[in-house]
Homo-oligomer: A and B are copies of this chain.
Amino acid sequence: MSKNLTTRAEDYSKWYNELVVKADLAENSGVRGCMVIKPYGYAIWEKMQAELDRMFKETGHSNAYFPLFVPKSMFEAEEKNAEGFAKECAIVTHYRLKNDPDKPGKLMVDPNAKLEEELIVRPTSEAIIWSTYKGWIQSYRDLPLLINQWANVVRWEMRTRLFLRTAEFLWQEGHTAHATREEAIEESEKMMQVYADFAQNFMAIPVIKGLKTETERFAGAEETYCIEALMQDGKALQAGTSHFLGQNFAKAFDVKFANAEGKQEYVWGTSWGVSTRLMGALVMTHSDDNGLVLPPNLAPIQVVIVPIFKTDEEFEKISAVANDLVAQFKKLNISVKFDNRTTQKPGFKFAEWELKGVPVRIAIGPKDLENGTFEIARRDTLTKEVKSADGIARYISDLLEQIQSDLFNKALNYRDTHITEVSDFEEFKAILENKGGFISAHWDGTPETEEKIKELTKATIRCIALDRKEESGSCMFTGKPSTGRVLFAKAY
C-alpha cells in the first residue's frame, strides 16, 4: 500500500492530498469545494472535539446553537467585518423548487419564491450572535456571557484543499461578552492558551503564541491572538485564533449593560475558533512516506493486534491470547483493535495500519505462543522489539505516553531548528527559498512594508511572538527603526 504513496521529497503537496484520501480521512465530494469527512477522519475530529469541549467547559463556557443563515442587513451592521467577510459566501435567494414545465422530471427554481432579503450562509457568526446578545444582556449581572458553538460554516473559496481550505468546514466558535476591557483581553489570552495546550498536549504540535499584525488581523477585531505551527515542508500553519473585539460588535448591534452604578456601557467582546483545518496540521506535522503517524492521544485506534497463522488451530490459540490482551488494554483505557480478518494476509494488514497511523502494532505468531512473547512495532520510529507477556499492558500504556512525547519533541526540534534570524532582505530571500521555516527579522511596523515583502516573496508576518525580546534594530527591508523581531513565513 505504502508503495503507492508519493513521497514528501517528490512532491509534498501531492503526498498530502494522496495521504488524506488513502488513509480514509476525507475526500472531495460532488459539491464544488465541499469535502466528505470519512468515518476514520471523523473519529479523529471527534476526539479533538471531545477534548476541546472538555477544556471549554472547564473554563466556564456553555454550548449553544445559532442560525445557519444571516440576513444581509445584519452583515452590513459591522462595517469592517462585512468588508472582510461577507464577500465570498453562499447566498440563499429563493425558497422553493418547482417542476420544470419544459423538462419532465426536472426541477427549477420557482421565480415566485424569491426572498425579500437575501440570506448569507454564515462564514462566521459574530453578527447573528451579537444581534441575539442584545436581548440577553441588560445588567452587569448577565456578564460575563461565555458561549461556544460547534457548527458548519461556508466561505466561497476558489482554490480548495481537503481540510486546509474547503468551502464548507466544521469548527467551533466561542463568543463571549464582558463588562470590562481587561476581562475581555484576559479571556482572549486564556483561550489562546487553551488552544496552545491542546495543540501541544494532544496534537503533539509545538506552537508559537503571538499577535497578528493589523493586516493579518480578523476583520472587526482590535487584536488577534494566534497559535502558529510549522509543517514539515517549512511552511507555517495558523492553527487557532482568539480575537479581542473591543466594543466593535457591541456598538454595531447596540449591546449595552447597566454597570453596578446603573450607568449604561457598551459590552466588551471576544471570539475564538479552531476548525477541521487542524486535521490538516495533524497530518502534515507527523506523517511520513509510509502514511499517517497519529499521536496516541488522538488516535481512534491506539493499538492493533495482528495474528500470524497458517492453520485454524494456530488462529484459535492466537485469538485466545489476543482477546485476553484486548481485555487487559481496555481496563487501562487503551483503545485496541484485534484485526482478526481471515480475508487479508498479515502483510496487507501491516501496510494498512501503517497507512492509517496506528501508533503501536502487536504481532502474534506461533513462535510467540511458544515463548510467551509479542512483537511490538512503533509506527513513529518504524522500530520493532520482542517483549515478554509479563506486564505487557502497563508496558504498552507507558509506550503510548512515550510515543506522544517523542512526537512532540521531534516536531519541536524541527521547529526550533527552523527559526532563522536574518538581518537583511537578501539573506531573508535565500533562507525562505532554501530552508523555509520561520524567519525572525526586524520590520518597520508598517502595513506597506509588510505588503511589499509579501508581494516579492509570498511570505507574510505570521505573528509578533508574545515572548519576543525587546530589541531595537532596523527593518530588513526599509532600514527604518524597529523595536523587535517578528516571525515571517510562507503559510498555508
A107-B86, A119-B31, A152-B152 as given contacts; A64 in contact with B93, CB under 8 Å: no
Binds B, one of A68-76, A188-196, A348-356, A447-455: A68-76
Q: By the criterion CB–CB under 8 Å, are A69 and B147 in contact?
A: no
Interface string of A59-71 (1 = CB under 8 A from B): 0001111111111
Q: By the criterion CB–CB under 8 Å, are A42 and B68 in contact?
A: no
Number of copies: 2
Q: By the criterion CB–CB under 8 Å, are B90 and A72 in contact?
A: no
Q: Give Cα A468–Cα B183 distance, bound, in whole angstroms.
A: 63
A94-B93, A96-B87, A97-B120 as given contacts; A76 in contact with B105, CB under 8 Å: yes
Binds B, one of A33-41, A280-288, A329-337: A33-41
A93-B93, A93-B94, A119-B31 as given contacts; A64 in contact with B88, CB under 8 Å: no
Q: Which residue of B lies closest to A118 (CB)?
A: B109
Q: By the criterion CB–CB under 8 Å, are B131 and A105 in contact?
A: no
Contact for A141 among B27, B105, B343, CB less than 8 A: B343
Contacts of A164 in B (CB 8 A): none
Interface presence of A79 (CB below 8 A): yes
Q: By the criterion CB–CB under 8 Å, are A68 and B128 in contact?
A: no
How many residues of A sit at the interface, in one of the four size bands? 35 or more
A62-B43, A64-B42, A68-B152 as given contacts; A109 in contact with B91, CB under 8 Å: yes
Contacts of A229 in B (CB 8 A): none
Chain A positions 75-92 with a Cβ under 8 Å from a chain B Cβ: 75-76, 79, 82, 86-92
- Give chain B nearest CB distance to A234 CB in angstroms: 31
A37-B64, A94-B91 as given contacts; A107 in contact with B76, CB under 8 Å: yes
Interface presence of A143 (CB below 8 A): no
- Give chain B nearest CB distance to A248 CB in angstroms: 15
Contacts of A92 in B (CB 8 A): 90-93, 121
Contacts of A156 in B (CB 8 A): 95-96
Q: By the criterion CB–CB under 8 Å, are A63 and B43 in contact?
A: yes
Contacts of A86 in B (CB 8 A): 97, 107
Q: By the criterion CB–CB under 8 Å, are A97 and B91 in contact?
A: yes
Contact for A89 among B30, B34, B97, B105, CB less than 8 A: B97
Q: Give Cα A279–Cα B171 distance, bound, in whole angstroms.
A: 24
- Give chain B nearest CB distance to A101 CB in angstroms: 15
Interface presence of A419 (CB below 8 A): no
Q: By the criterion CB–CB under 8 Å, are A37 and B62 in contact?
A: no
Q: By the criterion CB–CB under 8 Å, are A121 and B120 in contact?
A: no
Contacts of A121 in B (CB 8 A): 68, 92, 121
Contacts of A39 in B (CB 8 A): 62-64, 147
Contacts of A67 in B (CB 8 A): 29, 31, 34-36, 168
Chain A positions 388-403 with a Cβ under 8 Å from a chain B Cβ: none
Contacts of A151 in B (CB 8 A): 152
A91-B95, A94-B91, A107-B72 as given contacts; A132 in contact with B63, CB under 8 Å: no
Q: By the criterion CB–CB under 8 Å, are A31 and B128 in contact?
A: yes
Q: By the criterion CB–CB under 8 Å, are A79 and B65 in contact?
A: no
Contact for A66 among B29, B74, B154, CB less than 8 A: B29
Q: State the A residues within 8 Å of B (CB).
A: 27, 29-31, 34-39, 42-43, 45-46, 62-72, 74-76, 79, 82, 86-98, 105-107, 109, 118-121, 128, 131-132, 135, 141, 147, 151-152, 154, 156, 168, 170, 343
- Pull 6 A–B residue pairs with CB atoms less than 8 Å apart, ordered by A: A34-B69, A37-B64, A46-B63, A67-B168, A90-B119, A141-B343
Excluding A42-B64, A97-B120, 17 further A-B contacts by CB distance (< 8 Å) are: A29-B67, A30-B74, A30-B131, A31-B119, A36-B65, A37-B64, A38-B64, A39-B64, A76-B107, A91-B92, A91-B95, A91-B97, A91-B109, A92-B92, A93-B109, A109-B118, A151-B152
List of 9 A-B pairs having minimum Cβ-Cβ separation, nearest first: A34-B67, A39-B62, A37-B65, A95-B156, A91-B94, A31-B67, A90-B92, A93-B93, A39-B64
